[in-house]
Amino acid sequence: MHCDISTDSDSHHSPIFDLDSAITFDEIRRDDKVVIRTQNSEYRFSVIDPENQKGMLSGGSLGDEPREAFLVESLGKSDSGSLQDFRGLKRGNRALFYLSSGHRVERVTTSRISRLTLIRAADRTSLIS
């Protein structure tokens, strides 16, 4: 993982990581938040159970009310044009989530990811929710 770490004027490290390209499932921890920006939307995924990629998803077509969701993978195309999946989130790919809705399961696929931001729970201040 390559990430840029922002710093403030006091030279303290920020809990916010802007990821240049990707984040794998192994890098996501309980209570971390991932902000997924696409060309037209912003989604927020708050991690509840990292082993099962379970969390609360809001934003984009879902609106501001968080819903229980499972991050399945991100989908993209290889140089040859065939579909490739990535076990995590990757810039240029589309994020795939499954949401439970009563007795049904809904599928949410974002448009292409333009930016990823990881906010670590261990470093998050009370001002960032």
Domain locations along the chain: 3-119
Q: How far apart are CA 104 and CA 107, in angstroms?
A: 10
| Model pLDDT for residues 50-85, shown as the tens digit of each residue | 999 999 999 998 999 999 999 998 888 767 777 777
**In the chain, which stretches have pLDDT less than 50?**
1-14, 126-129
Cα separation of 95 and 68, whole Å?
15
- Cα separation, 5 vs 7, whole angstroms: 7
The rounded distance, in Å, linking the Cα atoms of 57 and 46 is 7
Of 23, 97, 6, nearest in space to 60 by CA: 97
